[in-house]
A and B are shown apart, each in its own frame.
Chain A
Amino acid sequence: MLELRLVQGGLLKKVLDSLKDLVNDANFDCSATGFSLQAMDSSHVALVALLLRSEGFEHYRCDRNLSLGMNLSNMAKMLKCAGNDDIVTIKADDAADSVTFMFESPNQDKIADFDMKLMDIDSEHLGIPEAEFQAIVRMPSAEFARICKDLSTIGDTVVISVTKEGVKFSTRGDIGTANIVCRHNTSVDKPEEATIIEMEETVSLTFALRYMNSFTKATPLANQVTISLSSDLPVVVEYKVAEMGHIRFYLAPKIEE
């Protein structure tokens, strides 16, 4: 028996909106630790890892580890029917072939339940080793989204370079080139407006903008994004999910042939 009650149901809507364009079908894994997902895009170039810790739920009952295979676009359709302030409860029996989403309005005057068919998904679960990164950039998530969107009108790839000067996002295309430099800046009114660059070594990596733009669908989840770079690893683009977890996107770089 699985029963997860999330008071901030709007968070789940935002999580689905940030996943559904990248991944079609995925297994949600429920354990005592929390509600999690790991999935790759169909080209196996990007990977997403979601964790919503059990402590973040108002009520979290998971009698035994359960894997729920869901079509993410169908799940997003169902969650779209919930109000942004609704309380969302996810329910499933141990041997269930469906999952129930229950939506309660904040003042309890409307209660809806939606039942969605589950699917068998044969997914690979990858081991992601803990890594030391050469550079970690924290910046406003809306700024990062704007940069990815702007650069993708000019080129297909972005070179992200971190030096003492700051973090530089560069692209080139048929019409010309573009470079945007963001400097370390903590003299801001609000902490979420800060850009914090921690650099052990300079690093420069090339990525497909199409994927970066897809990751920025998570922007409504968090004011800040963390971009972790190492020359021999995929980049990690992380958004916190309130105080209860995170969504991490991993993207393999492009390398010179």
Chain B
Amino acid sequence: PCLQRRILDYFNEN
């Protein structure tokens, strides 16, 4: 079982 990470876990909102 794999968990799909989200882009928001890596990049912050400007």
Contacts and interface: CB of A to CB of B under 8 A. Distances in A.
A40 B1 CA distance: 24
Contacts of B6: 43-45, 252
Contact of B4 (A125, A233, A252): A252
A103 interface: no
B4 to A, nearest CB: 5
A255 B2 CA distance: 5
B7 A157 contact: no
Contacts, number: 57
Contact of A257 (B1, B7, B10, B12): B1
Interface string A136-165: 000000000000000000000100000000
A254 B11 contact: no
Nearest to A129: B11
B5 A252 contact: yes
B12 A127 contact: yes
Nearest to B12: A127
A206 interface: yes
A45 B7 CA distance: 5
Contacts of B3: 254-257
A47 interface: yes
A80 B14 CA distance: 34
A234 B14 contact: no
A2 interface: no
A254 B4 contact: yes
A45 B4 contact: yes
Interface in A44-62: 44-47
Nearest to A233: B10
B10 A234 contact: yes
A47 B7 contact: yes
A253 B1 contact: no
Nearest to B2: A254
Given A45-B4, A45-B6, A252-B9, 13 more contacts: A126-B7, A126-B8, A128-B11, A233-B10, A234-B7, A250-B11, A252-B5, A252-B6, A252-B7, A254-B5, A256-B1, A256-B3, A257-B2
3 closest pairs, A vs B, by CB?
A254-B2, A252-B5, A126-B11
Interface of B: 1-14
Interface of A: 40, 43-47, 124-129, 157, 206, 208, 233-234, 250, 252-257
17 contacts: A44-B6, A45-B5, A45-B7, A126-B8, A126-B11, A128-B11, A157-B2, A208-B4, A233-B10, A234-B5, A234-B7, A234-B11, A252-B4, A254-B3, A254-B5, A256-B2, A257-B1
